[in-house]
Structure formats: C-alpha cells, structure tokens
Amino acid sequence: MNLTDIAALRLANQQILNTRFTDPAELVTWMGAVQSQDFAMAKWALGLRLKKATDASIEQAIDAGGIIRTHIMRPTWHFVAKEDARWIMDLTAPHVYKLAGTMYRQLKLDNSVFRVTNGLIGKLLADGDELTREEVIAEVNKAGIETDNLRATHIMFQAELDKIICNGARRGKKFTYALFDKKVPSGAALQRDEALAALAKRYFASHGPATVQDFAWWSGLSLTDSKLGFEAVRREFESASVDGREYLFTTVAELPKVHSKAILIPAFDEITIGYADRSAALDDAVAQNPESGSGIFKPVVMVKGKVVAAWRRTEKKDSVNIEMARLAKMPAAAENSLDAAGTAYARFLGKKSVVFH
C-alpha cells in the first residue's frame, strides 16, 4: 500500500466515490461525525456524498432533528446523528472540558456559574421553545450574570457539553437552540471502553485507511484513549504499514477505480480535516502554498484524491460564480470536467448556472 492507494480508499470509504447513501442522517451515522462550523460548506460536504441531495433537503433533515449540530469533538461544531449524540458526547465532553479550562479560568467561569446558567437555559427551553443565542443570553443577563461576547460564547458552549442544549431549527438565517433532551432520544449508556470501541469502529470504517494518530486528532481524545479504541477494533479491519505507520481499513477485494474528474471539496471537509497526517491528499508543494489553506481552511479541488486547486464561490440570484486558484498541474480530463462539477454544485444550491473565473 502507498499514499495513492490510501487516497483512493479514503474517497470510497468517505462516500465521495460511488456513494450508496440517499438519506442525510444515515450518511452522518456512517461518518460518525462531520465537522460543521461553516454551515454552508458542511451542507455541501453531505451533498457531495449523497445521491440527488439539495441544500434545502439537507437543511430540512437538520431542522427535523435527524441530524444534531453541536460542539462534540476537538472542540468545534459537528453534525452527528441524533441516536449517536448522547453517547459520543458522554465520551468526548470531559476531554473538551479540560481543553476549555484555561479560558474558563480567565473568564471567571466555573461549575457554580454553569449550574446557574444551565438551569436558566434549561427552563427557558423546557416547553419546547427554540430560541436564538441572543434571546437566551438576554434572559441570562436579566439574572445578573455578566455576559460579554466571550463569556456568552462559553456559557452556551458549556451548556452543549452538559447536554442541556443543541441546535434547533433555523429561523430565517438565524440559528436557534433547543433543549437537548427534546431532540435526542434517551438510551442505555455505554461503558467507556464500549464507547471508545464504537467510535473507533465508526471512524476506521468511514475514514480508513487511517492511523491511531489520525483517530486521536479526529476524535479529540487523548492518544492513550485512542490507542485503547484502536486496539479494541484492530481485528475487525485489515492493516498495512506505510512509512512505519500502521493503517486500519475495511477489507476490499480490489482497490477502487478513481476517475480523473475534478471534485469540488468544501472547506473543513472530512477528506482532509479528518486526519492528522494529510500527505495522502496534499503534495508538499501544495501544502506549503498559502493559497491551499492547508487543504482545510479553503474549499479545494481534488483529482484522484489529491488537492490541485482552491476555489471560492459567490452566489448570485440564479447562478454561482466560482473563482479558481490552481496549485498544481491539472490533467486535461480534470480541466474538461470542471463545468460538470460546477453545474452539480449549482444544482445543489438551487441555481440555474455556474460561471468559472
């Protein structure tokens, strides 16, 4: 196995190549979690992996509650299936809380403050109301709790970690919060070792080939915990050593055939951000080019699992304009496929046409 093989298998396992999914929630279940702080790009991350999805259909699935958007790993926003939100949060929240500890101390936020704010927020949403952050924080202010922007952010953040709140349905362009217990079904709690194994199995099935270091980065868990999960599922996967690192992946009869067409990958997509080591997707020259955004911070164009360009879009009433910044030589077949890739993205957005610059 080499980096080219790893790139091909990741495209297949991440459902970018020949997806079998039509339902957004089922896809998110397969992926384990999908980073989603850039909401528009995160919807495209799902659309890219689904048959005949639209921006509107994915947002409908999120609003309906099949997909939960909350801070659950690393820490940042992620999509997670509602059936998985509770046990994954139980597993990862303690580590995220430790990471936030320094900021909490600087902001003079501690458990005594969070008990009060969690109680207030829980009561506000208890009747099923879904409120914007501004509406929630206004009520917290009335209780005499200081809430400048940074403190407000971390009060809401901790309420997510404590399973008080998660996303509600969007109200126009505004995000809302709902009571976690109203949106997420209760279920039997997993023991910690069971949860580690379950999350590792989900990750290596959907993101493999990957290493234990990749799993630790993706999950936000310590390397010690990640190794426990890795070892718990090792026998369920194939393994290969590449450059002295052990990769786990699902058994395949043969390597997937990867076409030479261009693929418009969103910013913060799992195909790049899901790994600590991104060398399978980024040649050194591309990785060092600031225009690449390290393959994470900017939308990129991939050909055969390799980043060859960056792109950005401007939405018009009936069209979308896409500006390209080439980072590596693009094969003729990929150049010729750009219009098709752009048209698919425009159709996803509900636009009639695409214009490349």
Domains with residue ranges and CATH for the chain? 70-186 (1.10.10.10), 262-356 (no CATH)
On average, the pLDDT of the chain sits at: 96
Which stretches of the chain are DSSP H helices?
3-13, 24-31, 39-47, 55-64, 82-106, 111-125, 133-142, 149-161, 180-183, 192-207, 212-219, 223-233, 270-273, 284-288, 332-349
Percentage above 90 pLDDT, the chain: 95
Phi, then psi, of 161 in degrees rounded to 5: -60, -35
pLDDT in tens, 137-183: 999 999 999 898 899 999 999 999 999 999 999 999 999 999 999 99
Count CB neighbours of 187 within 10 A: 10
pLDDT of 357 > 90? The answer is no
Q: From the CB of residue 11, how many other CB atoms can be counted at a distance below 10 Å?
A: 21
* pLDDT, tens digit, 9 for 90 and up, residues 298-321: 999 999 999 999 999 999 999 999
Compute the distance between CA of residue 280 and CA of residue 289 in angstroms, rounded to an integer. 16
Convert the pLDDT of each residue in 226-259 to its tens digit: 999 999 999 999 999 999 999 999 988 889 999 9
The confidence score (pLDDT) of residue 176 equals: 97
Does 38 score more than 90 pLDDT? yes
Query: What's residue 292's pLDDT?
Result: 95
pLDDT at 121 over 90: yes
How far, in Å, are 20, 93, 153 from residue 55 at the CA level? 19, 30, 27
Residue 187 has pLDDT above 90, yes or no: no
